[in-house]
Amino acid sequence: MDNLFNFDFSVLVQQYFFPFVRVLALIMVAPITGEKEVPNRVKIALAVIITLLLPPADNYRAITVLSPLGIWIIIQQIIVGIVMGYTMQLAFMTLRIAGELIGMQMGLSMATFYDPIGGPATSVLSRLFNIIGLLIFLSLDGHLWLLYCLGQSFDIIPISTTLLNGNGYLTMIDSSALLFINGIMLALPIMTLLLIVNAALGILNRMTPQLSIFVVGYPATLLLGLVILSYLMPTIVPFSQYLFNLFFNKLVAILAELGH
């Protein structure tokens, strides 16, 4: 019974602290767990549980945590965790951008409220698309795939004093371009149709100046936008699957570049 509690706490910290930093950095930024509604104590507890389940490595146990090399390794682990979480957040940012563009064309840009994820002023459609994306992400076991990538990251980028390859950051910047490309692709059908409607209303206003375009235009664009949005909703599921697959592949590519 005495041997059960006979362990060196400093050795335990030395063994799991550096992986814990990477896991905690990922949880602080990753989808779902990175939301401000999740208490910090829950995030820390989740990071501790995941760290204890990971197989410990032996190549960094001799490094003291409170040393120049230890601080350098801590910074590297924070960078790796944030890069992984930010890459997966790009998929949800794509959905939020599409919601912002559609809401702006429909005249719903004024219907904003506080959103701890998207920012202090987020439109209703942007928040709706984000919630749908989160539900699809969970239904596709995206959180389990993210944990799998986290476990593999310790093999691709082992905990050491080696510098991270700068090509990984360039790959992440290139992945950020997909945020705007795919966001516009999702919102483009509604944006095009509403642009045609606005052009038609402009022509109608020139033909009949007595007709108040502000009285007719806003209800018409809002009603037509809602009708078109009802046809767009079934396409969000396959489009979200495409986004998650795309950014998971980008995440693997970024980790591979950072580890070289």
Q: Name the range with the highest mean pLDDT among 72-86, 167-181, 205-219.
A: 72-86
Residue 2 has pLDDT above 50, yes or no: no
**What integer is the mean pLDDT of 56-65?**
62
pLDDT in the model for residue 114: 58
Six-digit token pair at 215?
């009285």
Q: How confident is the model at residue 1 (pLDDT cuts 50, 70, 90)?
A: very low
Pick 64 or 83 by higher pLDDT: 83
Residue 36 has pLDDT above 80, yes or no: no
pLDDT in the model for residue 168: 77
**What integer is the mean pLDDT of 127-143?**
88
pLDDT per position as a tens digit, 181-213: 888 888 888 888 888 887 887 787 777 777 666
Residue 40 has pLDDT above 80, yes or no: yes
**What integer is the mean pLDDT of 213-232?**
78
Average pLDDT, the chain: 80
The answer to whether residues 148 and 249 touch, using CB atoms and an 8 Å cutoff, is no
pLDDT per position as a tens digit, 175-186: 888 888 888 888
Nearest to 20 by CA among 77, 72, 61, 80: 77
Residue 131 has pLDDT above 50, yes or no: yes
pLDDT in the model for residue 57: 63
